[in-house]
Amino acid sequence: MNETIRLYDDAPYETEFDAQVLSVLPGSREGTADVVLDRTLFFPEEGGQTPDCGTMEGMTVEDVQIRNGVITHTVLTGDGELFAEGSTVHGRIDWEHRFGNMQNHTGEHILSGLLHNIYGYENVGFRLSDNTVTLDTSGQLDDEQILDLERRANRVVFANVPVICEYPDPAALAAMEYRSKKDVGPNVRVVTIEGVDRCACCAPHVRRTGEVGLIRVIDVLHTRKDMRLTIVCGERAIGDLQKKAQQLREISHMTNLPQERAADGVRHFQEEIAGLKEKIRAMQQRYADMRLQEILAQAGDNGLKDCWVFEDELDPAVQRHFMNRLLEHPFRYVGVFAGSDTDGWNYVIGSRSQDSGIPGRLLKEQFGARGGGKPVMIQGSVKAAESDLMAAFGELS
């Protein structure tokens, strides 16, 4: 089959077209058809970029793929009739999605060009999703260098430099220096942003850099030698800013601080919470020591062998402290349970003379408890009523 004529090459701003149907085959899923046309405005998934979306004769085009130059459109036909081969169809691409991709893609060229010119870094990976672009570079930058890069990239936007897409003849191409992502075919399409970048690329771009609107680096991930930048441009960058600005406004209200200092407010909360936790721990420890005196007095009167304590809330460190203090006295088994009948209990069980695994196994067998440990101490969790647990412990010989 002949290669599909790529209308988007020369007419990236067109949104509607008519074309002749060359072939229609059932798609891989029910209710879909794979359609090949003689020409198309639909940019296929290629070079790391997601395909255009839109409609064909009013039906949704959900995927566009290219193979050996032939572009296949997967159309959601539902129960509708398939197009006849040889007929003419009307296609319409989703302009908002396309233009967002053009803004993001051109913004990526500007950043990659600057990274190459200033630092000599190569673009070693590129992925344009429906929202953001990830860009892998062959070297790393620190935070200040990234801010500087972002400023410079936006100055290229303000300068409104022409973006030229062309297929140079072989002689002209041979004399050209350009960045090349992967091995490119015989017809090399070269995209030039004057004074900034020249790169082999097949995708639609904006006419002038001013149309990119805004370039933002929203995330940086350092790998061992490389760096992955996540960027977002144009209208998608505005959407991203609006979402984040809303979060910042909320944090600012919650912390009662101006937006510029909202993080200080969150830090203050974290410190306050850490301080409160420490206070609670100290109070619980004092409480545990007082409970211990009570328990020892009662146990002495009743001559108890084992000691089981149930409390609704205890810090894990206090729980272990409680158990260790109980182990200083001549009980056979001691256990401290924190929680409730409805939510279940976290427990520690210890013994100085016996194997704590014995009551531990009883908890597992009768109540499906989780946990384990060494003979001197086990810990875990169990969901059961305090009265049932006490009844079971009463049977320990």
Where on the chain is the footprint of Zn ion (CB under 5 A)?
105, 201, 203
Closest CB to Zn ion: residue number:
201
- Contacts for 39 with CB less than 8 Å, ≥ 6 apart: 4, 5, 6, 7, 17, 19, 20
Helix H or strand E encompassing 51:
none
Question: At its nearest, how many Å lie between Zn ion and the CB of residue 43?
Answer: 11
How far, in Å, CA of 2 to CA of 322, rounded? Answer: 82
In terms of Cβ atoms closer than 10 Å to its own Cβ (0-12, 13-18, 19+), residue 277 is exposed
- Nearest CB to Zn ion, comparing residues 74 and 106: 106
Nearer to Zn ion by C-beta: 201 or 237? 201
The C-alpha angle 357, 358, 359, rounded to 5 degrees, equals 95
- Which residue, 19 or 215, is less far from Zn ion as judged by CB? 215
Nearer to Zn ion, 211 or 386 (CB): 211
Q: Which residue, 46 or 62, is less far from Zn ion as judged by CB? A: 46
Identity of the residue, 212 or 334, whose beta carbon is nearer to Zn ion in the bound complex? 212
Nearest to Zn ion of 203, 348 (CB atom): 203
Least gap, CB of 73 to Zn ion (angstroms) = 22
Q: How many CB atoms lie within 10 A of CB 7?
A: 19
Number of residues written out for the chain: 397
For residue 204, the minimal CB distance to Zn ion (Å) is 8
User: Which residues in 383-396 are b (16+ Cβ under 10 Å) and which e?
Assistant: ebeeeebeebbeee
Least Cβ distance, residue 47 to Zn ion (angstroms): 7
State phi, psi for 148 to the nearest 5 degrees. Answer: -65, -45
3-state helix, strand, coil in the chain (%, to 5): 40, 30, 30
Angle between helices 234-255 and 262-302 (to 10 degrees): 50
How many angstroms separate the most distant Cα atoms in the chain?
105
Minimum Å gap between C-beta 140 and Zn ion is 24
Report helix angle 234-255 to 95-114, nearest 10. 90
What amino acid occupies position 105?
H
Q: To the nearest whole angstrom, how small is the minimum distance from the Cβ of residue 127 to Zn ion?
A: 13
Residue 17 Cβ, how far from Zn ion at the closest point, in Å?
22
Of 98 and 105, which CB lies nearer to Zn ion in the complex structure? Answer: 105
Give me the least distance between CB of 198 and Zn ion, in Å please.
Answer: 11
